[in-house]
Chains A and B, each alone.
Chain A
């Protein structure tokens, strides 16, 4: 009898908590949110994030390394027909991409000329630090960020451009020793200066914060008399010293133009070249000649 009473007491204790613990936890959450929401860039949570990054970075790198070979398994099961379709699709895409590269090369050269006029020491080439995506922020968090396996050890710091061989991916917002967090350009917080390749007109690209099968971006052109045409290629316009975005990186293609009398500028919808649901190998733009713990892809190496 004694035992049972004790037992039920103990059970009661575990079962019905003094609400105080829950209240304390809720207050702790509120404190965290307040601290982080009002801190902005130098919020007091930032050191904690850094510590968490240092701890989780290597674990995420390891897990991603274990998972990567298995992620390729579904590709083994392709029928001949699928493969043939894929080949023709890729051929069409290849031709299209080649055309894109040719035109963007022209723009890049033109831009380099302007750069040469305005800047005494124009730095046209970029060095790239290659990195793999090791972690992807969940869709439920509504912010689109990924972690890559290169950090301060590889010469990275915040506000560096990240690109893949398809085009612009995003920018580095936070680094630890071995990892860096990248804000994707499709995130709702991301704004990129963009330039229409056909008319050299500039505008701002904002993310919509959703990754469907086709993540889309909105381009607001500065000059409302300019009309963007479907199929126009948009490249980055570049910021001072290349932070956070270097100039001349292809971003995407105009798919449609929205005209509304309410808005002063015309809004073009851009489909990015990069498939954000299947990011793996990316490159981070670092200043030429910077030191890194891994092989850096040097600009102009082929020309030497």
Chain B
């Protein structure tokens, strides 16, 4: 059962990664697309907590880093999504998150995730892009992620709630 759960989670992030590169470029704003994998990780964090979300974040990040057409240094998105998963998981409350809380968490997570990725690029001198350009890209990405939240987070959170081990059932 644990294996099955893991496989479903893997399938969800893989699907998100593919949509991100193959579907959303048609709607992209200056090449910036919603970060679906990050949304899935935040959804997992809000339902399952930091440990699960950090692990899922690592898997999702590695997929983004390796699946074509990625060409940046591998491990950068993994690092960003591990931290996002952990922080979002720590921020969750015991009660079910309200819509506002969810949107705020997504906005913060998107900002933190893209920023960590951009900063790691600055440190590693991976792409040489100005800080102002980076900031613009990050802010557009936040807007995109927030816009997609109502469509992505509810089904993702429902799925992870269904996948949750039986211990919370009583």
Q: Does A141 contact B (CB under 8 A)?
A: yes
A residues 104-153 touching B (CB-CB < 8 Å): 134-147
Find out whether the CB atom of B133 lies under 8 angstroms from the CB atom of A209. yes
The residue that B18 contacts in the complex, of A3, A56, A141, A213, with Cβ under 8 A, is: A56
Chain A residues with CB under 8 Å of B23's CB are: 63, 67
Assembly CA distance A137 to B78 (angstroms): 16
Give the segment of A17-25, A256-264, A282-290 that binds chain B: A17-25
Give the segment of A44-52, A79-87, A247-255 that binds chain B: A44-52
Chain A residues with CB under 8 Å of B57's CB are: 25
Q: Does A200 contact B (CB under 8 A)?
A: no
Assembly CA distance A141 to B25 (angstroms): 13
Chain B residues with CB under 8 Å of A230's CB are: none
**With A59-B18, A140-B117 in contact, is A28–B78 under 8 Å at CB?**
yes
Assembly CA distance A212 to B79 (angstroms): 28
Chain B residues with CB under 8 Å of A11's CB are: 167-168
Find out whether the CB atom of A135 lies under 8 angstroms from the CB atom of B75. no
Give the segment of A157-165, A175-183, A232-240 that binds chain B: A175-183
Assembly CA distance A138 to B145 (angstroms): 13
Give the interface size class of chain B.
Answer: 35 or more
Give the segment of A29-37, A91-99, A219-227, A266-274 that binds chain B: A29-37
Find out whether the CB atom of A138 lies under 8 angstroms from the CB atom of B121. no
B residues 113-170 touching A (CB-CB < 8 Å): 114, 117-118, 120-121, 124, 126-129, 133-134, 137-138, 140-141, 167-168, 170
**With A22-B50, A32-B62 in contact, is A212–B68 under 8 Å at CB?**
no
**With A67-B23, A209-B127, A209-B128 in contact, is A137–B55 under 8 Å at CB?**
no
Q: Does A244 contact B (CB under 8 A)?
A: no
**With A17-B50, A140-B114, A209-B133 in contact, is A49–B22 under 8 Å at CB?**
no
- Please name 12 pairs of A and B residues whose Cβ atoms are closer than 8 Å in the assembled complex, sorted by A: A3-B170, A22-B50, A55-B67, A56-B17, A56-B67, A60-B68, A67-B26, A71-B26, A139-B31, A179-B68, A210-B133, A211-B31
